[in-house]
């Protein structure tokens, strides 16, 4: 082929004699497909959307680490998970990508307290899936980022309760020392009256954390985003909408360790307890963040400003 006629497409033979024409602009890694209704977890399946795997974890196990492999979860996929390793992201550099919108968004239901997606390897991406809590006494955490989960990206994930009892106690649990975690465009919704403690809980330190473009409509007995135990170094908390419906206990909406550094900019939020404080993080920069703890009144700059710029 002449130099001027090259395209980003390439063709490869898949197992079973099938050919795939794929775009190298997206990835040169392998692609695997999952659908609970039409798929089977069997050798030879997963390479073609006409013969997908049935579960995400099985498709993930077919991937090779650090080659840009992708698991595409097809529209309408529905899967129950009951253990911390039911979906075990233990291979580095693999992406799980949900296809579909609205009620066709791939849905993962946690039907036991321990049910969770666990990220145990570096550079994992999970995008465009819905997690629903469906266990009578609550699911401990929807997603667990382990100590090996550096470089993880969570993008466009929806979290939903199915009742005030069938709820997420935590949406995301993050181990200490995790670096370069990105939580982007995620949608966290609790039913009011439940027993959730936090939306995102950090067990210790992080570095280069980004939380951007997320919506939190929760009812949590403690801080919505809780990074109090260890410092966040060089964090960016940007353009999030945060509301805590709890009116009994006073945590914070954004709660950061006193040694945390970085920038919180353009966040908006409210707390349904009149004396609740909204933000904490005395070593961080806070720019144009507006919050309210009084219904029907406009938000105020938080933290309050007393300085002047010449």
Whether the pLDDT of residue 15 is over 60: the answer is no
Looking at the domain assignment, is residue 208 inside a domain?
Answer: yes
Query: Tens digits of per-residue pLDDT, 192-229?
Result: 888 899 999 999 999 999 999 999 999 999 999 999 99
Please tell me the distance from the alpha carbon of residue 164 to that of residue 168, in angstroms, as a whole number.
9
DSSP letter assigned to residue 305: P
- pLDDT (average), residues 88-111: 97
Instruction: For the chain, give the mean pLDDT.
Output: 92
Looking at the domain assignment, is residue 37 inside a domain?
Answer: no
Boundaries of domain holding 180: 75-301
Looking at per-residue pLDDT, the higher value among 74 and 310 belongs to 74
Looking at the domain assignment, is residue 44 inside a domain?
Answer: no
How are beta strands 206-207 and 178-179 bridged, if at all? Answer: parallel
**Predicted pLDDT of residue 194:** 85
**Predicted pLDDT of residue 1:** 43
**Predicted pLDDT of residue 249:** 79
Q: What is the CA radius of gyration of the chain?
A: 21
The model's confidence at residue 27, banded by pLDDT at 50, 70 and 90, is confident
Whether the pLDDT of residue 3 is over 80: the answer is no
Percentage of the chain with pLDDT > 70? 92
Please tell me the distance from the alpha carbon of residue 72 to that of residue 27, in angstroms, as a whole number.
13
Q: What are phi and psi of 123, to 5 degrees?
A: 65, 35
What is the tally of structural domains in the chain?
1
Looking at the domain assignment, is residue 309 inside a domain?
Answer: no
101: Cβ contacts below 8 Å, ≥ 6 apart: none
Looking at the domain assignment, is residue 23 inside a domain?
Answer: no
Looking at the domain assignment, is residue 297 inside a domain?
Answer: yes
Q: Residue 183's beta-bridge partner residues?
A: 154, 211
Alpha-carbon dihedral of residues 218, 222, 224, 225, nearest 10 degrees?
Answer: -160
Q: Residue 154's beta-bridge partner residues?
A: 126, 183
pTM of the model: 0.93
Looking at the domain assignment, is residue 147 inside a domain?
Answer: yes
Q: What are phi and psi of 78, to 5 degrees?
A: -140, 130
CATH no. for residue 115?
2.160.20
Looking at the domain assignment, is residue 69 inside a domain?
Answer: no
């Amino acid at each position: 082929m002449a130099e001027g006629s090259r395209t980003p497409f390439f063709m490869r033979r898949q197992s079973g004699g099938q050919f795939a024409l794929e775009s190298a602009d997206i990835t040169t890694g392998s692609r695997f497909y999952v659908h609970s209704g039409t798929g089977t977890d069997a050798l030879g399946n997963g390479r073609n959307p006409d013969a997908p795997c049935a579960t995400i974890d099985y498709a993930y196990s077919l991937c090779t680490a650090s080659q840009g492999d992708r698991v595409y979860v097809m529209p309408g996929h529905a899967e129950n998970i009951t253990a911390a390793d039911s979906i075990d992201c233990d291979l580095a550099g693999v992406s799980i990508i949900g296809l579909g919108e609205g009620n066709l968004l791939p849905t993962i239901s946690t039907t036991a307290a321990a049910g969770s997606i666990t990220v145990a390897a570096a550079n994992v991406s999970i995008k465009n899936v819905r997690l629903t809590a469906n266990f009578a006494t609550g699911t401990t955490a929807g997603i667990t980022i382990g100590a090996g989960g550096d470089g993880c990206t969570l993008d466009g994930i929806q979290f939903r309760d199915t009742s005030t009892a069938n709820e997420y106690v935590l949406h995301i649990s993050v181990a200490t020392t995790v670096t370069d975690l990105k939580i982007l465009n995620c949608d966290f919704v609790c039913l009011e009256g439940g027993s959730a403690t936090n939306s995102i809980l950090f067990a210790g330190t992080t570095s280069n954390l980004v939380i951007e473009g997320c919506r939190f409509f929760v009812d949590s007995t403690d801080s919505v985003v809780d990074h109090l135990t260890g410092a966040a170094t060089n964090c960016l908390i940007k353009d999030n909408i945060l509301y805590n419906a709890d009116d009994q206990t006073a945590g914070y909406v954004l709660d950061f360790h006193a040694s945390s550094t970085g920038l919180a900019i353009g966040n908006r939020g409210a707390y349904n307890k009149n004396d609740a404080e909204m933000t904490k993080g005395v070593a961080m920069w806070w720019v144009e963040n507006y919050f309210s703890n009084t219904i029907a009144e406009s938000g105020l700059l938080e933290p309050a400003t007393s300085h002047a710029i010449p």
